[in-house]
Structure 1
Amino acid sequence: MSATGSEIRDQLLKGVLPWWLENGVDRENGGVFTCFSNAGRLLSNEKYTWSQGRWAWLCSRIAFDSGDGIIAENPQLWAALSIETARFIQEHAILDGSVTAYRTSAEGQALPSGPQGEIAVSVLADLFAAWAWRVQPGFPKRLAANVTSGSNQPMRFSPTPKKESRPEGSVRALPRPRRIQGRGRADAAPECGRPTPFGLRLC
């Protein structure tokens, strides 16, 4: 038996999101803890950058949809969580030399992850850090001079689509990012770059 839209919405708003707010959010350092067992026990407080970037984007999406009245959540709360997580990535995971730490301690210390002690070992960390960067624009000062888009052309994003009509109680699927095309350029989710009332830019 498949779940209805209202059942999925109830599970999200009454089960999934409250659990993560209570157990996952690092209110001291910013970001989110993700290393839980299936029983919900925290196994490690290390932070994997790709998970942090995904959380930053997810929180921004919840804030956006809450502000639009699509789901009944506090948009200011989720906007703040998104920005705090994006700042954590910018301040701790983006390193000198334009590389991204694969994982950090809870406080943000970059941790060796490769067989030879390498810190930057995965393009996924770079990808999700870039998504978080779209949430909280602006380069750290020490990187501003040497981080470029990789070409002479600016990164381009798709325009905002028209709103679609949906039956009451239905759940809108999140936009799927498009394939990267060309070096230094990317086509992102349909609403990427759209400003929200909270200073966020979705990507």
Structure 2
Amino acid sequence: MDWKATIDRYENELTQDVIPFWQKNCVDEQFGGYFTMLDRDGSVYDTTKYMWMQWRIVYMFAELYRSRFGAGNEEYLKIARDGFDFLYKHGRTEDGSYYFALNRQGVPSMAQYSIFSDCFAAMGAAALFAATGEERYRAEARSAMRSYIRRLDNPKGRWNKLLEGTPKRLSLGSYMILANLGCVMKECLGSDEFDGETDRAVRTVMKLFHNPELKVLFENVNPDGTFDLESCEGRFVNPGHGLESMWFVLQYAERINDKELIRQACDYVDELFHFGTDPVYGGIFYFMDALGKPHLELQHDMKLWWPHNEAIIAALFAYKLSGEERFLEHFKTIDQWAWSHFPDPEYGEWFAYLDRRGEPNNMLKGGKWKTFFHLPRCLMKSSTLMREIAGIN
């Protein structure tokens, strides 16, 4: 494996392509915040400001500022600071939670029905504290984190449209995000305040959502940890989420030096690659049914950018901690497929939505769900992991 050439490819993509694309096109100089609805060439096709996407940009530019890729670049820090100010002023509610969306001027346009707005606010504020040491950022990181935890048992609150006939479920997304969020809080704030919640989230992911017979992580389970194989929701599998959750677990397990947790998470990574890979056209399926039955979502067999980003990190993390060749092979396979299908050679950045065969069916570079986050995080994290594997400073 030519680690040096692979590292160079990832780092050049980040610094010469992805960062410049967003730095040039995302900042709203007139009203504040960011444009995330970007067409193929970076032009803006909608000015709605979705809170997940906004706070993720704050997080990434703050992380870049304090990384070797930013080297104290003051423009990166300014982009993150200005975004924080806009979002804190316009997006925060009286109880400390965050709206789902604002209009361009900052007027709330969608209620705070998603706790992930709070999650990414906590991440963005925490990264800014780590970058600057300013207390206002730490205070908001703790506040948003507490809001996320407080709302975990009833995420949508009074905006929940479901009635009593809908079965209650536990969602993998809520716990995997908390597992990572706790690690971010630990790293950026240097506090043990959320250690207990982080550990509980990790153990919940590993114990409740994994089906040992089918060898896959389910997206939804019953509150008692049993699996509902009689409904589409109960059989729902999201391979990208599963792989992302496993590298979250691996980063936690590495920090606390839990070798059994590392072994278990590595095995789950292997299972998810085998389950989620398209045997005909390659790549990772978006949504799947645990028993191979029809899926309700028509986009289920598409290939999206972010599951491939997370699969790359998961394979590298598992290889670094286990040294097992199966994970190096997974990395080589997913690296080759992703880099031969997603990058846009004409305008830069990566396409988001490919059909099953790997052809773009939408040219957007940013939207309601895609922003400056999964791809740059993948490029940064993968570079670090590869340098550690290869012993390259």
**TM-score, normalised via structure 1 length:** 0.62
Number of the residue aligned with 1:124:
116
Alignment CA distance shift 1:10-1:44 (3 Å): same
Q: Determine which of 175, 178, 187 is the counterpart of 2:182.
A: 187
1:87 to 62, 85, 88: 85
Separation in structure 2 between the aligned mates of residue 72 and residue 128 of structure 1, nearest angstrom: 21
The change in CA–CA distance for 1:10 and 1:64 in structure 2 (over 3 A counts) is same
Distance 1:180 1:99, change over 3 A: closer
In structure 1, the residue corresponding to 2:56 is in which secondary structure?
helix
For residue 77 of structure 1, the aligned residue among 75, 78, 94 is 75
Q: Given that residues 51 and 102 in structure 2 are in contact (C-alpha distance below 8 angstroms), is that contact kept between their aligned partners in structure 1? A: yes
Does the 8 A contact of 1:178 with 1:187 survive in 2?
no
Contact 1:90 1:133 in 2 (8 A): no
Counterpart amino acid of residue 78 in structure 1:
Y
On the 8 A contact 1:57/1:131 being kept in 2, the answer is yes
The amino acid across from 1:82 in the alignment is A
The structure-2 alpha-carbon separation of the partners of 1:178 and 1:42, relative to structure 1 and needing over 3 Å to count, comes to: same
How far does the alpha carbon of each residue in 1:42-81 deviate from its partner, in whole angstroms, 9 at most, with x for none? Answer: 221111111111111100011001xxxx226662111111
Are the structure 2 counterparts of residues 149 and 76 from structure 1 closer, same or farther at C-alpha, using a change threshold of 3 Å?
Answer: same
Choose 1 or 2 for highest CA Rg. 2
Q: Deviations over 1:81-131 (max 9, x none)?
A: 11111111110110123331100012211003xxxxxx1111111111222
Equivalent residue runs for 1:95-106 within 5 Å: 95-106=93-104
Contact 1:59 1:79 in 2 (8 A): yes
Which residue of the other structure, out of 14, 18, 39, is the alignment partner of 2:20?
18
DSSP-derived class of the 2:187 partner: coil
Amino acid in the other structure paired with 1:130: A
Tell whether the 8 Å contact from 1:103 to 1:111 is kept in structure 2 after alignment.
yes
The corresponding residue for 1:110 is 108
| Structure 1 Cα separation of the partners of residues 101 and 72 of structure 2 | 29
Give 1:164's aligned residue.
none
The equivalent residue for 2:64 is: 62
Q: Which runs of 5+ in 2 are unaligned?
A: 130-134, 148-174, 191-393
Number of aligned pairs?
149
TM-score relative to the length of structure 2: 0.34
Rate the CA distance shift 1:187–1:178 in 2: closer, same or farther, 3 A.
Answer: farther
Q: Relative to total residues, which structure has the larger helix share, 1 or 2?
A: 2
1:125-164 CA-partner distances (Å, limit 9, x unpaired): 111122233326538xxx9xx99947xxxxxxxxxxxxxx
Distance 1:44 1:110 in 2: 16
Tell me the secondary structure at the aligned position of residue 43 of structure 1: strand
Contact 2:62/2:124 (<8 A) preserved: no
Match of 1:162 in 2: none
CA distance in 1, matches of 2:96, 2:107: 16
Q: Would you say the 8 A contact 1:89–1:132 is kept in 2?
A: no
1: CA distance, partners of 2:71 / 2:23: 12
2:55 pairs, out of 53, 56, 63, with 53
Q: Distance in 1 between matches of 2:107 and 2:90?
A: 7
Query: How many percent identity over aligned positions?
Result: 20
Describe the SS at the equivalent of 1:192. helix
Separation in 2, partners of 1:111, 1:30: 16
Structure 1: which amino acid aligns with 2:17? G
CA–CA distance in 2 between the matches of 1:28 and 1:188?
Answer: 35
- The corresponding residue for 2:339 is none
Shift of 1:188: 2.4
- In 2, the alpha carbon distance for the partners of 1:72 and 1:131 equals 18
Q: Which amino acid aligns with 2:182?
A: D
Pairwise CA RMSD of aligned residues? 3.2
Contact (CA 8 Å) 2:64, 2:70: kept in 1 or not? Answer: no
Kindly tell me: are residues 179 and 55 of structure 1, through their superposed partners in 2, closer, same or farther at Cα, counting changes over 3 Å? closer
